[in-house]
Amino acid sequence: MDMIQLVLVSMVAALLYIILKDIQPTFAFLILLLTSALIILVVIKQIQIILQLLQAIGERASIDATYIHTILKIIGIAYVTELGANITKDAGLASVASKLELAGKIFIILLAIPIITAVIDVVIQFIPTNTNHLP
Amino acid sequence: MFVDATILFQIAGIGIITALIHTVLKQVGKEDIAQFVSLVGFIIVLVIVIQHLADLFQQIKSVFLLQGF
Amino acid sequence: MMKFIGALLFITTSSWIGFDLSKQLSRRTIQIRQLIQSIQLLETEMSYSQLTLQHTFQIISKKTDPPISLFYKKLAEDMEGIVTDFITVWDEAITYLQQSSDLKQRELEVLKQFGRNLGQHTFTEQQKHIVLTIHHLQHELKEANERRQQYEKMTKSLGVLIGILIVLLLI
């Protein structure tokens, strides 16, 4: 069972963290960093399967591939930002963590620009621009 | 899926041992060497952790198609 | 399994090195003390029995413990027959002592200086030299004792700890 293994690993990491916190705080922080990395490394292979499913569904619905790729990138940025923000917050740098989250949001919006413009184009097509048709 | 937890124990062990060496050297009065030992231990562990982090980020990049970011 | 045996061997070896280093520190103080005693013996032998140096050295080698006794034994053996140059014999014996004991260069230098004056003067002057040498050696003994108190525990624990650290790094 993957899940039980992950829980046990994080429990072990928590115990080691408590032991090391008083005698070597830097090492305790490295334990924290490594545990996060290990757990995400396990999870990321599962994420890949989910994303492949998403891509397959998108292809069946004949959605433009660039849209799917943009969404994947957005999800990726969200995960990476959260990882970085949590670790910096654990290290006691709450202000840096909030800046990191802000940066993540901005990059997501930047990536979403083509999609937003496409949506706006569609909406504008629905709005009648020519007022002469009005009675 | 096998999660390798030995590396956690390894790092914790190195941390405890360097802390002990630090206290032993400090008792004798060699603070500078004690500091140096702690620093070297930290750098060694940092190298181990950095390798895993690099692996993680490589995986994230390939899964989420984040080549440009 | 092999890994485990190797790790155990490594830790044992490094602990042994640490213990040996700390033993060396305590052995040095003991040997300096023995050296002082042997020179005092030399003084009494000189003043009361008035034998040749070779015989005196033989008697002292019987009365002391190794490695100091080995030093006097070698001196006595080297002085069999006709000795033209006592200083070279003395210096050779000191190099031998350096290899077989834990004495440092400073004590040996004091001893070397002592050999330069041995048998060159009248008894009263010789006695002054002996007192001076003992004084120097006692100073060295004090310094060695301080070093021992400071580093004996440290070398012991550092040997074990460095062994475990390297094993942990190599796992």
CA nearest B16 in C: which residue? C165
Query: What pLDDT, on the 0 to 100 scale, is given for residue C106?
Result: 76
Residue that the structure tokens 């019987």 belong to: C62
Quick one: pLDDT at residue A102? 95
Quote the pLDDT of residue B68. Answer: 53
Query: B14 — contact with chain C (CB < 8 Å)?
Result: yes
Q: Give residue C92's pLDDT.
A: 76
Look at residue B67 in the predicted model and tell me its pLDDT. Answer: 60
Closest alpha carbon to C169 in B7, A132, A61, B38: B7
What are the pLDDT digits (tens) for A34-76? 998 888 888 888 888 888 898 889 889 888 888 888 888 888 8
Share of chain C above pLDDT 90, in %: 8
Percent of chain A having pLDDT more than 70?
95
Average of pLDDT values for C149-154? 83
Judged by a CB distance cut-off of 8 A, whether residue B44 touches chain C is: yes
Look at residue C68 in the predicted model and tell me its pLDDT. Answer: 75
Tokens of C141: 């003994």
Structure-token pair, residue A64: 């433009």
Residue C114: per-residue pLDDT: 74
Residue A27 and residue B15 in contact, taking contact as beta carbons nearer than 8 Å: yes
Mean pLDDT of chain C: 80
Centroid of chain to Cα B2: 21
Across chain A, what does the average pLDDT equal? Answer: 87
CA B25 to CA A21: how far, in whole Å?
A: 21
The CA distance from A99 to A81, in Å, is: 10
pLDDT, tens digit (0-9, with 9 covering 90-100), for A85-134:
999 998 889 999 999 999 999 999 998 898 889 889 999 988 876 666 55
pLDDT at position C104, please? 76
Neighbours of chain B (3+ CB pairs under 8 A): A, C
pLDDT over 90 at C53, yes or no: no
From the list C93, C35, C80, C84, the residue with the least C-alpha distance to C53 is C80
The pLDDT of residue A108 is: 92
In B2-30, which residue ranges form alpha helices assigned H by DSSP?
6-28
Those residues with Cβ within 8 angstroms of residue B17's Cβ, 6 or more apart along the chain or in another chain: B41, C161, C164, C165, C168
Range name among B16-30, C30-44, C146-160 with the lowest pLDDT average = C30-44
To the nearest whole angstrom, how far is the Cα of B27 from the nearest Cα of chain C?
A: 8
Position C52 pLDDT exceeds 80: no
Q: Shortest CB distance from B10 goes to which of C153, C162, C168?
A: C168
Over residues C43-55, the mean pLDDT reads 74
The rounded distance, in Å, linking the Cα atoms of A112 and A107 is: 9
* pLDDT in the model for residue A106: 94
User: Residues of A with CB below 8 A from B56's CB?
Assistant: 37, 40-41, 44
Q: Provide the percentage of residues in chain C whose pLDDT is more than 70.
A: 94
**What pTM, to 2 d.p., does this model score?**
0.74
* Higher-confidence position of C122 and B47: B47
Q: State what percent of residues in chain B have pLDDT above 90.
A: 13
- Looking at the predicted structure, is the pLDDT value of residue C3 above 90? no
How does residue A18 score in pLDDT terms, banded at 50, 70 and 90?
very high
What DSSP string runs through C17-45? HHHHHHHHHHHHHHHHHHHHHHHHHHHHH
Q: Tell me: the pLDDT tens digits for C83-111?
A: 677 777 777 777 777 777 777 777 777 77
* Chains A and B touching, counted as 3 or more CB pairs less than 8 Å apart: yes
pLDDT of residue C58: 76
Closest CA to C165 of A2, A25, A27: A27
CB-nearest partner of B18 from A24, A31, A72: A24
Residue A24 pLDDT > 70:
yes
Residue with tokens 């890994």: C3
Domain spans, chain B: 9-63
- Report which of A23, C164, A91 is spatially closest to residue B10, judged by C-alpha positions: C164
Q: C18 with C156: CB under 8 angstroms? A: yes
| Selected residue with higher pLDDT from C133 and A96 | A96
> Which chain A residues are within 8 Å of B4, Cβ to Cβ?
38
Domain boundaries, chain A: 1-46, 64-135
Which carries the bigger pLDDT value, residue B47 or residue C105? B47
pLDDT of res. A85: 94
Classify burial at A21, counting beta carbons within 10 Å of its beta carbon; exposed 0-12, middle 13-18, buried 19 or more: middle
Do C and B touch, counting CB pairs below 8 Å (3 needed)? Answer: yes
